[in-house]
Amino acid sequence: MTWESLTRRARPGLVLAIALSLAAVAYIAWKIGESPSQALQVTINGLNVGAVYALLALGFTLVYSTVWFFDLYYGAAAAMGAYGVFYLRSGQAADQAYDPGNSLLNIVFGVVIAGVAAWALHTAFYERFRPRYGRTLLRTVGAALAAAAGLYGALILWLPDHLHLTTAPLVTAFSGVIVGLTAYWLLRRFRGEAANRRTAAARMSAVIGLAAGGAAGLFVALRPEASLYLSWVVSCLLAGCVGLALYRGLYVLILLRARSTLIMLVATLGVLLTVSALIVIIFTSTTHALPESLGSQPIAVGGATFKAFAVFTVGCAFTGFFLLWLLLYRTSLGKVIRAIGDDEQVARVVGINTTAVIAIVFFIGAVYAAFAGILTGQDLAIQPRMGLELLLKGWIASVVGGIGGLYGAIVGGFLLGLVEQFGIWDISGEWQDAVSLLLLVIFLAFWPKGIIPRT
């Protein structure tokens, strides 16, 4: 069989893929031979930005594969993460011209947190305990707890200089729950499932969780230098709360009245533009710098210079992938999320509270987007248009890797970062976005399912 007959029988996309791959390998080999140190520098830069794109693609893929429409708030969440850190830590940033004491903004976020807390309490406990305690008591207690959560959130924003103190209770509760649940799982795994042993395991886990949570809270409260990293956590949680509130308070109403992906696209575009405009109003349109974080000192290896923060960013991308993989494939919540992604109507018929589960998905996706925005802001300056730019890169990475698939998201993110950096080797950096769009056009034309299609 001749080469011509093989190529005639092969799919045109496969032939083009082989040709482009060979051309890319030849180009990279040529550049490595031309300047090995510069090739190493470009590779490191590509992995650094690719890690951010991978985080964006992971969150974007999670949301899209569950609800099957493009949530453009995702880009706004990325900008909110970066500007949240600036809002809380502007006194320590290189740009100290902004005063974070915006009372109206603090009140708005407090109301959002209170609303999310009220919804969570109602969803988790109302129907379960209503026959025993009655409607009035449950609603009164729920409203009081939600109001307390909103006041606590507003207090954190009002006292940014004392972030290590105001967030210590949050760190205590979160650490205690995580350590306690982990201890309970380990004890049940190794001590058996007998009823008396489960009770003993629960008590011992509670003690371990309380001790670990108290130690973590005390550790944070005694270290003011941890405030920058605490601002990362607070900003991600705020972006997640807004994402959840938008889905439960706005998107659900739109979907009930007009079940159309086009209408949802327009609605989320309006949210993105609104948030971007508010950022300009509150923070002005100028760029701002965030305080220096860990790994800011340059490192020289093989003629290439990079910050240790780049290694941290790559580690965050793989950690984010691992945590999302655990959630989707090793937890009951993950099974429910995948079931809703396969068929939401069937999932609702079998008794799954799809609204609550999807709201959790929107929360997690917004947290991923916000963290990607924070990593970008710590490495570069922040500006109001960054949300739209990061949204575009996350979407391109998802398409390239295989939209809707977890493995494709991380592969597409790193591939996009490397292609961008190698693509602008001999040209101006302003062409970086053009390289990304060219890669998107190629994949949409010949491999619309991406490198690792969703199965």
Query: In this predicted model, what pLDDT tens digit does every residue of 136-155 receive, in sequence order?
Result: 888 999 999 999 999 999 99
Which pair of structure tokens corresponds to residue 209?
């969780």
Give the three-state DSSP class for 305: strand
The answer to whether residues 390 and 369 touch, using CB atoms and an 8 Å cutoff, is: yes
- Under DSSP, is residue 288 helix (H, G, I), strand (E, B) or coil? strand
Q: Please tell me the distance from the alpha carbon of residue 60 to that of residue 54, in angstroms, as a whole number.
A: 10
pLDDT band at 435 (very low <50, low <70, confident <90, very high): confident
**pLDDT tens for each residue of 287-332:** 888 888 887 788 888 778 888 899 999 999 999 999 999 999 988 9
Average pLDDT on 75-92 reads 86
Could you tell me if 308 and 45 are in contact, meaning their C-beta atoms sit under 8 angstroms apart? no
Owner of token pair 């030849």: 26
One-character DSSP codes across 9-44: HS-HHHHHHHHHHHHHHHHHHHHHHH-HHHHHHHHH
Q: Give the strand pairing for 298-301 and 304-307.
A: antiparallel
pLDDT-derived band at 7 (thresholds 50, 70, 90) equals very low
Mean pLDDT of the chain: 86
Higher pLDDT, 92 or 383: 383
Q: How far apart are CA 273 and CA 79, in angstroms?
A: 12
Contact 309, 296 (CB under 8 A): yes
Per-residue pLDDT tens over the stretch 8-37: 544 555 676 677 777 777 777 777 777 778
User: What angle do helix axes 386-401 and 354-379 make, rounded to 10 degrees?
Assistant: 110
Better pLDDT: 219 or 128: 219
Spatial neighbors of 252 by CB under 8 A, at least 6 apart, are 355
Residue 96 clears pLDDT 60, i.e. is over it: no
What is the C-alpha separation between 310 and 389, in angstroms, rounded?
Answer: 20
d(CA 214, CA 216): 5
Nearest C-alpha neighbor of 43 from the set 53, 34, 55, 31: 31
pLDDT tens for 153-209 read 999 998 888 899 999 999 999 999 999 888 888 887 776 555 566 777 788 888 999
Q: Are the C-beta atoms of residues 406 and 328 closer than 8 Å to each other?
A: yes
Residues whose CB is less than 8 angstroms from the CB of residue 307 and which lie 6 or more positions away in sequence, other chains included: 295, 296, 297, 298, 299, 379
Dig out the tokens for 394 from the structure.
């996350």
Q: Which pLDDT band holds residue 119 (cuts at 50, 70, 90)? A: very high
More confident call, 251 vs 196: 251
Q: For residue 115, give the nearest of 141, 137, 139, 147 by alpha carbon.
A: 147
At residue 426, the pLDDT reads 75
User: How is residue 258 written in tokens?
Assistant: 């007009």
Q: What pLDDT shows up at residue 6? A: 43
What domains appear along the chain, each with residue ranges and CATH number?
35-97+233-455 (1.10.3470)
On whether the pTM is more than 0.85, the answer is yes
Q: Kindly list the distances between the CA atom of residue 406 and the CA atoms of 52, 177, 318, 450, in Å, as whole numbers in the listed order.
A: 15, 27, 12, 12
- DSSP character for 92? G
Rounded-to-integer distance, Cα 150 and Cα 144, Å: 10
